[in-house]
A and B are shown apart, each in its own frame.
Chain A
Amino acid sequence: MRGTTRAKWLAGVGILALAATACGSSSDNKKSDTGSGAGNSASGGSSSGGYYTASSTEPQNLLQPANANETGGFYPLSMMFRGLYTYDPKTGDTVPAMAESMDTTDSVNWTVKLKSGWTFHNGEPVTAKSFVDAWNWGALSTNKQINATWYQPIEGYDQLHPEQGEPTAQTMSGLKVVDDNTFTIKLTSPISSFKAQMGYTPFMPLPTEFYKDPAKYGEAPIGNGPFQLDTAAGGWERKKQITVKRYDNYKGNDKAKAAGVKLVFYTTYDAAYTALRDNKLDVIDQMPTSAIASFQKDLGDRAIVQPQLSIQKIGFPLYDPEWSKPGAEKVRQGLSMAIDRAAITKAIYKGLEVPANDFLAPGIPGHADVCGDTCKFNPEKAKQLVAEGGGIPHGKLTIATNADGPHREWVTAVCNSINQVIGAGSCEPKLYPEFSVARKDISGHKMQGAYRTGWKADYPFPDNFLNDVYRTGAASNDAGYSSPVFDNLAKQAMATADKNQSLDLWKQAEAQMVKDLPSIPLWYYTTKAGYSTNVSNVQFDVFGNPVFTEVTVK
């Protein structure tokens, strides 16, 4: 879940929206090269295909593929590594990268055939073993990889990553190397969308160099992606930047257009945005709250606004007896209808966020107006449903949020909307001092009222938005939602190989969710980004990440 942690770091100082009308009228045309001692990047300017800069944050962990669940680690890894599949930036469709094919008949046993000729940045060929060894290493609990749970579907994971005690095996029994270009995967239960997960960083291959000293490798990774670490230009300079350059022997279709990229760490998005307007920074992936109202005017056609695969919701503590008693679902539906999503997104986000009508973000296959009337503002019906359901549990709705993030404003607005419809004093925000304190109560099932909860796609398939969040016992099922109907349909949908049939089952599962309403969908986030005058062809993919390979330097 990269979105929320990132939003947390953004909790900075920016409250003052500068009414900036002119856009950098005096900013001279100095090039973007802000780094020092970067020999081959000093060219800047005339030659096409120079280096450009992009805003990022310091990676939280060493740069190992299974060890990044935040933007700061994800960006460099996604540039330096390619897995079996990757995602089409525009549609989010799964497209082959290293995979020649990945076939299955039962969604349990998968046979992967690799394209030949791919090499790591040090010249070592990428083989089936590069994948299998990397996944085994990532899953082993003693290696403490933050994304280790991604290997959970693979048979034998339990032995490498036991709930208690030391691992009893070093390799997962579900992974078998057949020959240099072929390996097989056996899952514990059928997952038809397993292929769609293959573009995410935990499923990248690793060279043998890695195992000599994984920690040292984590400072200077060697991957197989379109970019390689530019050690001559400093590589990863802590708290400053990561410099990568184009890997000329890259065999994929998405070869890098620019000679290299500097991922520069700005302390706040406010500072990064100022640097962008000063033409010191070329690509910014997120706008500071203070610039939401002005950035389109400031940047003109260099501003980017487009849908992103992420959703904001209000979750309910269904483990609380008051919230799980019969009739409580009517209260939740009523509360959903009491929220004027259109007015709130317009007031707070200048209409850039899109009111939600489904638990799936638009762009996820199967997205439709599933929520229907339940997600539409309807004061009379709202009042009626809350009354029918026996009133709001505990007499008042509290919506918990961390005060150190950018969420406080909209939570207050949602509460105002509910208060106007249901009656004064029916809703109030509950502020936690900061994110980790709020998360402790939410994940520890200690809530009595509602709480804000967001989700950003890891891979573009309904599984990620539904199964991973609402299945009984799912790791991210903070609501404690448990519906046999949903579980059954989800299981079938996961197992069904036919995509349309699977999506149809998901739709039925969602229909059950709308009845139970374990959480209220609010709106979908949009990517709000921009770029400098030094670069062109800047695109963002459906996940909201810059398409680093496509950017060209003027």
Chain B
Amino acid sequence: MSETLIKIRNLHFSRDHLKIFDGVNMDIRAGSITAVMGPSGTGKTTLLKLIGGQLTPDEGEVIVDGQKVHQLNRAELYQLRKKMGMLFQSGALLTDLNVFDNIAFPLREHTNLSPSLIRSMVLLKLQAVGLSGAHQLMPSELSGGMARRVALARALALDPMMIMYDEPFTGQDPISLGVLVKLIQDTNQALGLTSILVSHDVEETMSIADDVIILSDGKVVVEGSREEIERSGSAYVRQFVHGEADGPVPFHYPGEAIDELLLKAAK
């Protein structure tokens, strides 16, 4: 069992009086790909923002690399963030900079490397995601899949210890999807990263995840290795993993029964 890079203990978080996390505990192993899954609105992206210190929990703590994220001052938090990469759902590329400058951006902001060295590093990162030929394009000229690959190259620019992926597969064609799956797996192995993968895409996510955590109603419903999740007897997990229309999460939204509604309408 490898050491734990991220520990979350008794995490409580609410937004606009809506409880999103109600005592969540989880451990994320260093060097692993951990998939965090769950229905829409269950707080998966919020969890990444809590880990990155962009949101503050109501209660509980998030410990990353031995540091309590929400007890750090601004300078310490920024130092920690330099070791975290994050790939946003939209890519979040700076739209007024071209691909090259987007990837060079964190290097220029945080290092004193010479322009020639930065150029070499950026081109190597782009080569790693298969886009060295696109270094002069503007973000508006990229497809969704290309934008996410550029964002991945940017997230890798400072050689972080971990990367958080927020819905990386959403809206991708099968080829882009395959490329992204391969890139996430390869970069994790080649660079010894710790990856947290938030996604709805069960098949693709399960194919590369070492550990899986499924959230629902503000709690961890089930966690374990991929094999353990596949063997799980939980009806909820079965419904989620196999995408069954009805089950513990009902097909029908709770409310008055249809016959009562029809009777009322007839009256």
Indicate, yes or no, whether A interacts with B.
Answer: no
Residue positions of A touching B, CB distance < 8 A = none
Residue positions of B touching A, CB distance < 8 A = none
